[in-house]
Structure 1
Amino acid sequence: MADRVSASIIVGGTLNAAEFDELVDIIASERLAIEWDGEPFEAHHHVAGEPRSLFAHEVAGGSFDDLESWCLSHRLPFVRWCGGYSGQWGPERVVSTGDERITSYAVTEDDEVVISRSKIEMLGSFEAVLAHFDTAEFTVPPLVVRGVDADNPASHGGRHVQ
């Protein structure tokens, strides 16, 4: 059985309605909630003009493999945090700015970026260290559903709120 920890992800970027429906299905398959110990995400939880934050406990390996792969292939920016698993891995923040790449950062259990002496030496300058922190603090843009959010903020993708 895989090691399991708590994890969260914030997703942003721009999708069309059909892609949003795919995203909703993937989020459902990952059993992600709208808050810690909250209700499962559904399409009507989408809020126009905001990124989507999602949460889960008991996440195998601390990552949402299907969701993250889908976001990478659709060039959606995201930031994921996962707690550490004693003896296996430490807490981490994974950042993807929508360019099909991810960067991992060491963090505390409270999601505060930390840096080792060897990393400081590798970066080589105080300015580079600050840049490292700046890139780790990437702000995920809103999740926008083209043709839906601007026209009707109460509807979400191909699935409409009643």
Structure 2
Amino acid sequence: MADRVSASIVIGGALDAPAFAELAELIAADRLAVEWDGDPFEPEHRVDGEPLRLFAHEVAGGRFEEIEDWCIMHRVPFVRWCGGYSGQWGPERVVAIGDGKAVSYAVTEDDEVVISRSIITALGSLDAIFAHFDAAEFVVPALVVADAASALPSTAGTHHVQ
């Protein structure tokens, strides 16, 4: 049995209705909730003008593997947090800005970004250290869903599924 911890994910960007339906199926398969210990996600829980915030306990490996892989493949921005598992891994924040890749950052159990002396040395300057923190603190844009018959709105910081 895989090691399990609590985890959350915030998803944003622009999707057409079929892509949102596909994402909603993945979310339902993982039984994510709209708040800690809350109701299971349903598509109508999406709020216009807000990113989608989802939560779960007992997440294998602290990762929503299919959802994260789908978002990366479709260039949909997200930020995922998971708690640490003693002796296996520390708490982490994974940031995907919608460019087809994701970057992991060490955080505290309260989701505060931390860096080690070796990372400070590798970054080499105070400006680079601040840039590291800024990248880790990416703000996920609202999740915009347009029906297939209408044009997707042009919203800064969003990515379209093709």
State if a TM-score over 0.5 links the two structures: yes
Aligned to 1:79: 79
Distance 1:102 1:20 in 2: 20
- Structure 2 gaps of 5+ residues are 151-162
Name the % identity: 68
Distance 2:14 2:75 in 1: 9
Alpha-carbon offset, residue 51 of structure 1 = 0.2
Aligned to 2:60: 60
Q: Structure 2 length as normaliser, TM-score?
A: 0.90
Match of 2:84, SS state, is: coil
**4+ runs deviating over 6 angstroms:** none
Distance 1:100 1:40 in 2: 28
Aligned to 1:145: 145
Q: Structure 1 length as normaliser, TM-score?
A: 0.90
1:9-158 equivalences in 2 (<5 Å):
9-147=9-147
Match of 2:135, SS state, is: helix
Distance 1:65 1:147 in 2: 27
Match of 2:14, SS state, is: strand
Q: Deviations over 1:108-154 (max 9, x none)?
A: 00000001000000000000000000000000000000238x9xxxx
Counterpart of 2:24, as a letter, is: V
Counterpart of 2:129, as a letter, is: V
- Structure 1 gaps of 5+ residues are 151-162
Aligned to 2:157: none
